[in-house]
Amino acid sequence: MSGGRDLVSPEPDNDEYAIEAALRPKRLDEFIGQARVREQLSLVLESAMRRNRPPDHVLMSGGPGLGKTTLAMIIAAELGMPLRVTSGPALERAGDLAAILSTLSEGEVLFIDEIHRMARPAEEMLYLAMEDFRVDIVVGKGPGATSIPLDIAPFTLVGATTRAGLLPAPLRDRFGFTAHMDFYEAAELEQVLTRSARLLSVDLPPEGAHEIARRSRGTPRIANRLLRRVRDFSEVRADGLVTREIASAALNLYEVDGEGLDRLDRAVLGVLLRKFGGGPVGLSTLAVAVGEEPETVEVVAEPFLVRQGLIARTPRGRVATASAWAHLGLTPPPDAFGASVLPSLFDEA
Ligand SMILES: Nc1ncnc2c1ncn2[C@@H]1O[C@H](COP(=O)(O)OP(=O)(O)OP(=O)(O)O)[C@@H](O)[C@H]1O
């Protein structure tokens, strides 16, 4: 992958975990944006604390880097309870989950990241655990196998998923509360950046924060990463003050354009417009044409391009909008938005 792609990828880099931990808000009132989720969650937590019972299980859905792990940590901190962290791919067998569930203490918060990737047997064990705080441990094999019920301490499950649609309904239904995490507004990202700059001792005036925020793809993780690159640039090429010009020059150098599009985004748009006349074209054809995996195009580039109103997903494939042509400075062919395409623009594929 190119340097530019890594810079605006919503997934964390390997060496990014420590710095992310340092920048994480620790309490709900420090958490920026997602006003609705924050208010809903604070009600869920407060009423549980008043009743002196663990709150309902919480499902968080939303793209990578939007703050799901941060919120899970905040939930535990607000409840004053320990947090146990695991992930769907780590729960391959029911025994993996049983080992965790049977050692939870009362009221503990269990965070399962990427919960949609849990193996089936573990998932079935989780149903019973979530509902009755019980697991059935199967002893032995074949016809002689018996199942021994085991009570577990009441706990709160916090599940996170980037693909809520992939969760089986019985699992989804067992969460008492679902928090839908959305992309952040630029003004919210400016607050995230200002807070991070303070923690990292970066001299970031509001206009510098504004310039970085608008190129951060609505994602705090990307905002924090761009801030670090801009800081490097300002320290080496200037006096450390991150003015608008410095932020802009640094991000241009890293090929993140004025709307946060990077090389892959522009490649997807370029192919869609130049090669396929604006579409419709299928995802896998598009991915082959830009030399990427379909999943990378679907999970990383496409949601942002759709959100920016540059492409639309239709039942017949991906279609460029008028803004896409304008963004690349191209003129659409006369039939680009013909009757066959327009009515389906708003049907999600
Ligand atoms: N609302 C917020 N306010 C301030 N910083 C935030 C906020 N949300 C996320 N961040 C910052 O963004 C970084 C990424 O957040 P986090 O790890 O919680 O995302 P995530 O949704 O769990 O991502 P993934 O799905 O990849 O695990 C963290 O370092 C955190 O500091």
Domain spans of the chain, in order of start:
34-180, 186-253, 263-344
Amino acid at 143: P
- pLDDT at residue 340 is higher than 50: no
Taking only the tens place, the pLDDT of each residue in 207-261 is 999 999 999 989 999 999 999 999 999 999 888 899 999 999 999 998 888 888 8
| Contact residues for 147 (Cβ-Cβ < 8 A; gap 6+) | 136, 137, 138, 139
Under the banding of pLDDT at 50, 70 and 90, the label for residue 138 is: confident
Q: What is the pTM of this model?
A: 0.84
Strands 134-139 and 146-151: antiparallel
Active site residue 314: no
Under the banding of pLDDT at 50, 70 and 90, the label for residue 140 is: confident
Q: Give the mean model confidence (pLDDT) for residues 334-339.
A: 64
CB atoms within 10 A of CB 2: 11
Closest ligand 1 atom to residue 113 Cα is 27
Cα Rg of the chain, angstroms: 23
Q: What's the sign of the alpha-carbon dihedral 77, 81, 82, 84?
A: negative
Q: Where does the chain have alpha helices with state H?
A: 3-7, 17-23, 35-51, 68-79, 94-101, 120-132, 169-172, 186-199, 206-213, 220-237, 244-253, 263-270, 283-290, 294-296, 302-307, 322-327
- pLDDT at residue 299 is higher than 60: yes
Mean pLDDT of the chain: 88
pLDDT at 3: 42
ipTM (interface pTM): 0.96
- pLDDT at residue 268 is higher than 70: yes
Q: Which CATH number fits domain 34-180: 3.40.50.2300, 3.40.50.720, 3.10.20.30, 3.40.50.300?
A: 3.40.50.300
Q: How far is the CA of 13 from the centre of ligand 1 (A)?
A: 13
Active site residue 194: no
pLDDT at 337: 65
Preceding omega of 280 cis (within 30 degrees of 0):
yes
Which phi and psi angles does 12 have, rounded to 5°?
A: -75, 145
Do domains 186-253 and 263-344 share one topology? The answer is no
Q: Confirm or deny that 131 is annotated as ligand binding.
A: yes
Is the beta carbon of 262 within 6 A of some atom in ligand 1? no
Q: Give the mean model confidence (pLDDT) for residues 125-151.
A: 88
Amino acid at 326: A
Q: Which of 114, 162, 221 to mutate to test the pocket of ligand 1 (most atoms within 8 A of CB)?
A: 221
Strands 134-139 and 58-61: unpaired
Residue 324 CB burial class (10 angstroms; 0-12, 13-18, ≥19): buried
- pLDDT at residue 297 is higher than 60: yes
Is the beta carbon of 88 within 6 A of some atom in ligand 1? no
263-344 fold: Arc Repressor Mutant, subunit A (1.10.10)
The yes or no reply on domain 186-253 and CATH 1.10.8.60 is yes
Instruction: Write the DSSP string, 278-305.
Output: T--B-HHHHHHHHTS-HHHIIIIIHHHH
Active site residue 113: yes
